[in-house]
Chain A
Amino acid sequence: MTASEIRPARVAVPSLAVRARDVLGSEWAKLRSVRSTYWTLLIAAVTSIGISAAVALTFVTQPSAGRPRIDPLLPGFLSLEYAVVAAGVLGVLSFGSEHASGLIRTTFAAVPRRRAVLAAKAAVAGTVTLIAGELLCFASFFLVQAILSGKHLGVSLSRPGVAGAVLGEGVLLSVCAMLGLGLGAMIRHTAGAVAALFGLLFLPAIVGLLPAPWNDRIGRFTLVYAAQQVAALHARAGLFSPGLSMLVVIAWPAAVLLAAAVLITRRDV
């Protein structure tokens, strides 16, 4: 070695907490600096508020004689079907876009602890979609109830179980973003991961076609059934309780993220 060899500035390696904060800061900067983040959130907002209002309006304009009894929270829940896909895509893109461009190598070269990257991406996308989900669910709740109250069909937030159901509903966007994120990390192609996300979200609902009681016995483990149970005012018999259903809802993304955490350190990029 020559005498002039330069050595890195001898700064002590900062604590794990500081390094974690910096990786979080980096992922937060990435999420904020691409348009897809805003587009997916906008789509989630427009669909959830627009569709819940449309469903509520359709409902109140039917003649009262033939009007079916519905759960006053149902319009809000139905509208989420599209918003969760948008949130899922936001999650997929977090890794998918980096794999598509090769940026993932820059990312992993800067932070060789790949699980820290996964955790930071999950924290950032999870928080943004959780806040967005809660805001949207409460916004569409108030809109729907304003429409329904014209026919005295609405329900107040202070009624037991309502606030919890709306809060639970608000978690779903984040849950789907985490599913998408994990799938994106594992599948590494945006289109493939989005397809897998659709499959994971909607395919298990096929068990609804099974003869009773198997439809509910198996169905209660699926995301769609469990999410319905979490967000409903009146829990359905035959499924898990809303509390247990919430655990099912959280277990899905947890399992996918865990699988991603195992795979992500083993593969070449």
Chain B
Amino acid sequence: MIEVDRLSKRFGAVTAVDGLSFAVRPGHVTGFLGPNGAGKTTTMRIILGLTASTSGTALVGGRRYREIARPLHQVGSLLDANAVHGGRTARRHLLSVARSNGIGRRRATEMLRLTGLEPVADRRAGGFSLGMKQRLGIATALLGDPPVLMFDEPVNGLDTEGIQWIRELFKSLSAEGRTVFVSSHLMSEMALAADHLIIIGRGRLIADTPTARFVESNSRRDVLVRSPRAADLAGLLTAHGAAVLPESDGGLAVTGMDAPAVGRLAAAHGIAVHELVPRHASLERAYLDITGDSVEYRAGVPAGDGGHGQ
């Protein structure tokens, strides 16, 4: 359980995190979404006690991170996969981190095996690909078998197989009842990997919602239709239960009726149709819309069960 309460962080004139409140619950993979610069990394660093907040609190398991003795047993984190000494081997890196929290060699070796790094464990991390470094970072995060896990952009640098592996790993970790908090700037990735979403923009909360609900309310389907008798067609469609929205270029955006039905209806009434296109707004589009420049004026719009009301 991670609880963030009215958290703010200012760097001089820049407000990186602005009154952010949310809770990350156990048993779920929670995606932390936002464009680059939205304040995700800063928030994660504050949760880990690396950065001091200007105001507000961040608690992990009910405690401030800095008050936890041997925190690797409570919280595992991966902030930056490149944060390894290039001259140190993967094994020795892992062992040195493990040792600081009283974690033994056997557990470290086990994590190397779990992340598939055993064959390269005695090679210097400086020669690793980003994907291999991500795996080493994940091995480090899992060292203490912690109930809370935080990953900042973990899929960066992973190949397709690696992404699939990490998605499965998150799912199994959350299925074990752990709190899994994963940041990303990619909506498409989080839609697959996370079952809950916390979306921020400019340091503020935009949405705190189950992924399913976000997808449902944002992946609208409609049909674009063009006709020389647009007005007649619009009236006809409306009369048959569809909703029609005129587009600026004269086309009609029809919802509540699929393309074949629109075509049949037009044909039955002798209305010529020049274009008939089924469309669906992508999740990515919806995400861009809510995190775009208008964000500041629409904070809290597609709210979920996070208590940020509609």
Contact = CB atoms under 8 A, between A and B. Distances in A.
A106 interface: yes
B146 interface: yes
A19 B102 contact: yes
Contacts, number: 129
Interface stretch (A25-33, A162-170, A177-185, A217-225): A25-33
Interface size for chain B: under 10, 10 to 19, 20 to 34, or 35 or more residues?
Answer: 35 or more
A107 to B, nearest CB: 8
A202 interface: no
B101 to A, nearest CB: 6
Contact of B82 (A7, A11, A35, A101): A101
B159 interface: no
B30 interface: no
A108 interface: yes
A106 B102 contact: no
B209 interface: no
B113 interface: no
Interface string B11-41: 0000000000000011100000000000000
A22 B26 contact: no
Interface residues of A, number: 41
Contact of B85 (A5, A8, A34, A111): A34
A189 B181 CA distance: 31
B95 interface: yes
Given A6-B176, A9-B145, A22-B100, A103 B50 contact: no
Interface in A94-147: 97-98, 101-113
A105 B50 contact: yes
Closest 3 CB pairs of A and B: A102-B83, A26-B100, A4-B177
A14 interface: yes
Contact of B147 (A7, A23, A30, A110): A7
B240 interface: no
Interface string B123-145: 00000000000000000100011
A237 interface: no
B77 to A, nearest CB: 6
Interface string B68-88: 111111110101101111111
A13 B77 CA distance: 20
B48 interface: yes
Contacts of A7: 147
A102 B82 contact: yes
Contacts of A26: 96-97, 99-100
Given A6-B26, A268-B51, A14 B92 contact: no
B177 A5 contact: yes
B177 A29 contact: no
Contact of B50 (A8, A36, A108): A108
11 contacts: A5-B177, A6-B147, A25-B100, A34-B87, A101-B86, A102-B80, A103-B85, A105-B83, A106-B79, A112-B67, A269-B51
Contact of A33 (B1, B74, B89, B146): B89
A4 B69 CA distance: 24
B45 interface: yes
Specify which of A9, A19, A103, A269 lies most central, judged by the most chain B CB atoms within 10 Å of its CB: A103
A108 B1 CA distance: 21
Given A6-B176, A6-B177, A103-B85, A29 B99 contact: yes
Nearest to A18: B102
Interface string B89-131: 1001101110111100000000000000000000000000000
Nearest to A29: B96
A17 interface: no
